[in-house]
């Protein structure tokens, strides 16, 4: 039974072919709502999103809603509306499970009621756990820096998941060029995707281009500038993409919303956006059909990059009086422990 009156033919949504041969839909539905949307509401919206035409669902164990979403998958597959192979499903191993990747993956599979994942990511490269509901000044006593030797131990377990058939593709998230260079040097199975913050005010051209050059598909979270992100991630320096005059003017010329412009910009640029929205999920998907940005539009938007990182990761810092910039290797080298 359909649960939404608005639908888009999934066949009209193109896919991107990864170096592994797998084909991933060019837009996904994010499920991060753990701080401000109850798990049952996220799951209900996932159901509506799937019936409206989404075929990629981006999950993570730390979001705290995989069991609820698993009930939705079970219901949809049991109903015969879709087969398992019709959906691309991603999950991620959280920081405190870097030593137990296989166990973490199996738990996500159990919660999501699946036999395999299309993509499994290392959520963050930092092997620690931070207290819940912390703010931008918080520090975890368990925080640890990135140490490549340790990360490779985690990655070997990721590779084992592919070899065991539990996961079809593996990838990274919240990485930097220096870290990816080391991983590409040492990996047996190279990452197929890198999930990263990407929106008009934070375009990450160096990392974006590095990924494309090395056949790593960029997946962009916060494609709308994350207006609903948790308070812990808000600072006074943050800017608002959807209030940018350029975005607004492009939207007016195209008779669409600023959010649809941001989504279509991401798609035409070559990244895969994974927006999360309880109320506007269909409009985000509809950007494929109703929005076509001109070469001039794309150029205008490329010029509004403010290098404004919204998800700074400051809760993972391992030293007092340390700036969040250390997490992102902004000096071109990995910050030493």
A 10 A CB-CB count for 194 gives 24
| Structure tokens belonging to residue 22 | 């797998």
To 5 degrees, how large is the angle CA 238–CA 242–CA 247?
A: 120
The residues annotated as belonging to the active site are 63
Q: Is 47 helix (H, G, I), strand (E, B) or coil?
A: helix
Cα torsion 288, 257, 45, 39 to 10°: value is 120
Strands 29-30 and 23-25: unpaired
Task: Return the residue matching tokens 């890198």.
Answer: 194
Q: How far apart are the first and last CA of the chain?
A: 55
Residue 270 falls in which region: left (phi positive, over 0), alpha (psi -120 to 50) or beta:
left
A 10 A CB-CB count for 164 gives 12
């Amino acid at each position: 039974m359909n649960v939404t009156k608005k639908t888009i033919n999934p066949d009209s949504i193109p896919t991107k072919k990864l170096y592994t041969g797998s084909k991933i839909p060019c837009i996904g539905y994010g499920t991060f709502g753990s701080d401000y949307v109850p798990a049952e509401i996220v799951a209900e919206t996932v159901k509506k999103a799937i019936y409206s035409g989404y075929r990629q669902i981006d999950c993570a164990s730390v979001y705290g809603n995989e069991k609820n979403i698993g009930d939705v998958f079970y219901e949809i597959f049991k109903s015969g509306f879709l087969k398992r192979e019709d959906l691309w499903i991603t999950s991620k191993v959280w920081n405190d499970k870097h030593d137990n990747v296989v166990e973490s993956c199996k738990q996500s599979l159990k919660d999501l009621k699946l036999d395999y994942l299309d993509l499994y990511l290392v959520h963050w490269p930092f092997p620690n756990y931070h207290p819940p509901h912390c703010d931008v000044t918080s520090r975890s006593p368990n925080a640890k820096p990135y140490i490549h030797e340790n990360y490779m131990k985690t990655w070997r377990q990721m590779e084992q998941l592919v070899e065991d058939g539990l996961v079809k593709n593996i990838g990274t998230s919240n990485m930097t060029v220096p870290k990816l260079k080391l991983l590409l040097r040492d990996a047996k199975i190279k990452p197929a995707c890198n999930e990263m913050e990407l929106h008009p005010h934070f375009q990450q051209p160096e990392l974006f281009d590095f990924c494309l050059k090395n056949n790593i598909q960029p997946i962009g979270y916060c494609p709308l500038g994350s207006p609903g992100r948790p308070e812990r991630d808000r600072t006074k320096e943050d800017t608002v993409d959807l209030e940018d005059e350029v975005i607004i003017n492009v939207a007016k010329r195209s008779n669409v919303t600023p959010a649809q412009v941001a989504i279509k910009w991401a798609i035409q640029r070559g990244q895969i956006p994974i927006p999360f929205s309880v109320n506007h999920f269909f409009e985000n998907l509809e950007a494929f059909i109703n929005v076509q940005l001109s070469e001039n539009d794309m150029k205008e938007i490329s010029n509004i990059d403010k290098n404004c990182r919204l998800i700074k990761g400051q809760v993972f810092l391992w030293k007092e009086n340390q700036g969040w910039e250390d997490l992102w290797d902004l000096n071109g080298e990995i910050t030493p422990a």
